[in-house]
Amino acid sequence: MINKALNTKQCSNSKCRSKFDFKNIRYYCESCTRFLCINCSTSQRVYESVNSEEKERPVCRCTDCLTKIKKAEEDMLNAIKTMDFLVVDKAYHFILANHIDIDVKILHQAQVTHLKLEKELDINNFIKNVAHVPDYKTILKSVKILNDKVATAKSLNVDLDPIVMSAVNQCTSRLISERNLRFHMEMSGHVESTTEQVDTLGQLLEKATENSVA
Ligand SMILES: [Zn+2]
Ligand SMILES: [Zn+2]
């Protein structure tokens, strides 16, 4: 680091290039690790951790990095506002791929939102895929997969949207009704129908209609 500093004879900003001497001293940019003059660097305080109440860590950065960071932070916050997975994913991966040192609180908010939207999208897609289940024997397996997806999301502290949760509950009820109905229909096809079985079937049909089984 000292060698690198001594070998840098002038400000790394291509538009500045002022020579370093005892009056024009070197400032180190924490983000891009270049040395710059005082005019081309900034000093500010940043949050040390997500839980920090106030900005406690001083950080020195070049003006180029600061501009890049501010832009990425603004883009990330705007992406979060859309609550669209693909938009958030794009902004989030841009920050990761380019190692942009955005504010830890914004980064945390991005991670939480990214995970939440990813899980919700996955659950919603699964619900769409089980709209028609050709084999009733796999229905209970589908119910298990769906409920496991919810459990995994909750274990990761994902705060699933109430609309998603209500879709999950509705889908689970519908699948179970459909499974019971189709199971009984198959059973009654093999044996002589008793009054009891007809009653059960009637109840199941009612339940299935309630849960909008197509
Ligand atoms: Zn820099
Ligand atoms: Zn400079």
d(CA 148, CA 127): 13
The number of the ligand nearest the C-alpha atom of 69 reads 1
For residue 175, is it within any domain?
yes
pTM: 0.82
The number of the ligand nearest the C-alpha atom of 19 reads 2
Q: What is the pLDDT of residues 121-178, one digit of tens each?
A: 999 999 999 988 878 888 999 999 999 999 999 999 999 999 999 999 999 999 999 8
Provide the residues around ligand 2 (an ion) whose CB is within 5 A. 11, 13, 16, 37, 40
pLDDT-derived band at 193, boundaries 50, 70, 90: low
* Domain encompassing residue 151: 130-214
Are 95 and 72 in contact by the 8 Å Cβ rule? The answer is yes
For residue 166, is it within any domain?
yes
For residue 17, is it within any domain?
no
For residue 45, is it within any domain?
no
For residue 115, is it within any domain?
no
d(CA 204, CA 179): 10
Q: Which of 89-98, 102-111, 184-193 has the least mean pLDDT?
A: 184-193
d(CA 138, CA 130): 10
For the chain, how many structural domains are there in total? 1
Residue 70 has pLDDT above 90, yes or no: yes
